[in-house]
């Protein structure tokens, strides 16, 4: 009697592997279909053996039992197709498995493709992301997020510029980047294949620093100079787009120019009520009721519906149309400031300053703690029983209420992380 073979086995296992990553990949027929369209079963098996951090080719070769030259060729092809990430550092090749977002969803849609069923993929990704809120909550359901808001700098003209830090200025982030690339907006491109894209500029997604080098090498991004990048930034602001970027202070990897109708992060706020899906900037919109004419252009321009038309009494006691800002929801993007022609909107500093993590490492660790995935992050060796055992022990610790309370105290959390990372490095011989 023959054995039944599950044709989706490798894609199901890859989905489970992706779900162990910090932003997760909740189970759904849609994600399995997506993986089946992107990965052959052999590629899915190989991909699920890759760690979520850059790992040298030689070490991967030992793990998967494939000669380095052959493995390099196979992984390089997958990287070119946007399925994994590859890096070259000091002459050595590194590879890693990216998450769903920010990851292979973007890499698939950041350029025009004729080698994939893009319309089918667009429908599947849209269903996976928005048919229910499980995926969105997996990605955004905590305090530390992937992306943060950058305020239109024109809106800060009357602010004390000594208090505006370099990482808060999109222009400064671009000017100091070691490299800049530009690609199609993945979200808008997905909507285009659904005949639902807006008319905002399409080629406005910036990759920065080493990310620009990596994506340009794989023809996912087009290398541009700083002058063109700044010109595209100004055109994006003129089109009413909000700037969001990597939620770190150093070595940002991307800046997106986002619309409220297509952007996945902003839609998580607007349609799924995940108000913290994008970290707000350190400013919020303030309405001058006396100057406001009630035209409503700022209400239309706001990408997350944080502004609403209302009626209020002016200084003379006359009822007039004006606008009200929900400051709890406001991202501080400054799009409303740019839309107002009557100088009735100003950006004021928030009472409590918001500081992003210093580096990508800090951000990912904070996200892992909040989402209960620190064990998966530290012991990211899915094929090794010893690390699995250690990972299970740490997972139990993370779910223990007293331990979670301890981890909530920042100094103790830092000491705990330093000890755990040190132990992990000693264990791996790094």
The answer to whether residue 379 scores a pLDDT higher than 80 is: no
**193-208 pLDDT, tens digit each:** 999 999 999 999 999 9
**106-150 pLDDT, tens digit each:** 999 999 999 999 999 999 999 999 999 999 999 999 999 999 999
Q: Taking residues 381-389, report their average pLDDT.
A: 55
Higher pLDDT, 337 or 399: 337
Looking at the chain, the whole-number percentage of residues with pLDDT higher than 70 is 86
Q: For residue 413, what pLDDT is reported?
A: 58
Confidence at 397, pLDDT banded by 50, 70, 90: low
In angstroms, rounded to a whole number, what is the distance separating the alpha carbons of residues 108 and 95?
Answer: 17
Q: Is residue 2 exposed (0-12), middle (13-18) or buried (19+ Cβ within 10 Å)?
A: exposed
Q: For residue 420, what pLDDT is reported?
A: 58
Higher pLDDT, 375 or 18: 18
Residues 6+ apart with CB under 8 A from 231: none
Residues 6+ apart with CB under 8 A from 361: none
Lowest model confidence (mean pLDDT) among 108-117, 135-144, 175-184, 362-371: 362-371
The answer to whether residue 307 scores a pLDDT higher than 60 is: yes
Q: For residue 427, what pLDDT is reported?
A: 52
In angstroms, rounded to a whole number, what is the distance separating the alpha carbons of residues 355 and 363?
Answer: 11
The answer to whether residue 42 scores a pLDDT higher than 70 is: yes
Q: What is the 3-state secondary structure (H, E, C) of the chain?
A: CCCCCCCCHHHHHHHHHHHCCCCCCCCCHHHHHHHHHHCCHHHHHHHCCCCCCCEEHHHHHHHHCCCHHHHHHHHHHHHHCCCCEEEEECCEEEEECCCHHHHHHHHHHCCCCCCCCHHHHHHHHHHHHHCCCHHHHHHHCCCCCCEEEECCHHHHCCCCHHHCCHHHCHHHHHHCCCCEEEECCHHHHHHHCCCCCCCCCCCCEEEECHHHHHHHHCCCCEEECHHHHHHHHHHHHHCCCEEEEECCCCCCCEEEEECCCCCHHHHHHHCCCCCCCCECCCEEEEECCCCCCCCCHHHHHCCCCCEEEEEEECCCCCEEEEEEECCCCCCCCCHHHHHCCCCCEEEEECCCCCCCCCCHHHHHHHHHHHCCCHHHHHCCCCCCHHHHHHHHHHHHHHHCHHHHHHHCCHHHHHHHHHHHHHHHHHHHCC
The dihedral region occupied by 76, where left means phi > 0, alpha psi between -120 and 50, and beta the remainder, is alpha
Q: For residue 394, what pLDDT is reported?
A: 63
Q: For residue 1, what pLDDT is reported?
A: 46
Looking at the chain, the whole-number percentage of residues with pLDDT higher than 90 is 75
Q: Taking residues 400-417, report their average pLDDT.
A: 58
Residues 340/296, Cβ–Cβ less than 8 Å: no
The answer to whether residue 425 scores a pLDDT higher than 70 is: no
> What is the residue-averaged pLDDT of the chain?
90
Taking the whole predicted model, whether its pTM rises above 0.85 is answered as: yes
Q: For residue 120, what pLDDT is reported?
A: 98
Higher pLDDT, 414 or 73: 73
Q: Which domains does the chain have, with CATH numbers?
A: 9-111 (1.10.10), 136-270 (no CATH), 283-349 (3.30.70.20), 360-428 (no CATH)
In angstroms, rounded to a whole number, what is the distance separating the alpha carbons of residues 250 and 13?
Answer: 35
The answer to whether residue 385 scores a pLDDT higher than 50 is: no
Confidence at 416, pLDDT banded by 50, 70, 90: low
């Amino acid at each position: 009697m023959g054995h039944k073979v599950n044709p989706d086995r490798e894609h199901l296992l890859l989905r489970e592997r992706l779900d162990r990553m910090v932003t997760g990949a909740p189970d759904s027929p849609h994600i399995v279909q997506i993986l089946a369209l992107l990965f052959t079963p052999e590629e899915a098996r190989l991909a699920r053996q890759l760690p979520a951090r850059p790992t040298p080719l030689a070490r991967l070769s030992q793990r998967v039992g494939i000669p380095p030259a052959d493995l390099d060729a196979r992984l390089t092809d997958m990287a070119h197709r946007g399925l994994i990430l590859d890096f070259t550092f000091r002459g050595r090749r590194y590879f890693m498995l990216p998450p769903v977002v920010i990851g292979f969803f973007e890499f698939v849609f950041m350029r025009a493709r004729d080698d994939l069923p893009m319309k089918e993929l667009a429908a599947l990704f849209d269903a996976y992301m928005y048919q229910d809120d499980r995926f969105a909550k997996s990605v955004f359901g905590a305090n530390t997020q992937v992306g943060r808001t950058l305020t239109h700098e024109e809106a800060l003209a009357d602010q004390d510029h000594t208090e505006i830090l370099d990482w808060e200025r999109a222009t400064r982030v671009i000017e100091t980047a070691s490299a800049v690339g530009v690609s199609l907006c993945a979200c808008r491109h997905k909507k285009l294949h659904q005949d639902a894209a807006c008319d905002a500029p399409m080629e406005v997604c910036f990759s920065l620093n080493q990310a620009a080098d990596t994506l340009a090498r794989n023809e996912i991004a087009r290398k541009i100079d700083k002058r063109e990048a700044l010109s595209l930034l100004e055109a994006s602001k003129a089109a009413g787009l909000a700037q969001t970027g990597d939620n770190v202070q150093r070595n940002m990897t991307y800046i997106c120019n986002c619309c409220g109708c297509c952007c996945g992060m902003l839609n998580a706020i607007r349609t799924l009520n995940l108000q913290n899906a994008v970290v707000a900037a350190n400013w919020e919109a303030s309405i001058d009721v006396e100057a406001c004419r009630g035209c409503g252009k700022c209400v239309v321009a706001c990408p997350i519906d944080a502004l609403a038309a209302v009626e209020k009494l002016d200084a003379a006691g006359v009822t007039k149309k004006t606008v009200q800002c929900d400051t709890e929801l406001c991202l501080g993007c400054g799009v409303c400031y740019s839309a107002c022609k009557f100088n009735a909107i100003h950006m004021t500093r928030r009472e409590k300053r918001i500081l992003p993590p210093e580096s990508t490492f800090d951000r990912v660790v904070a996200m892992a703690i909040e989402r209960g995935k620190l064990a998966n992050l530290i012991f990211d060796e899915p094929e090794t029983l010893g690390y699995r055992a250690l990972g299970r022990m740490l997972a139990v610790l993370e779910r223990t209420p007293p331990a979670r309370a301890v981890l909530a105290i920042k100094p103790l959390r830092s000491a705990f992380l330093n000890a755990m990372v040190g132990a992990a490095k000693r264990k791996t011989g790094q």
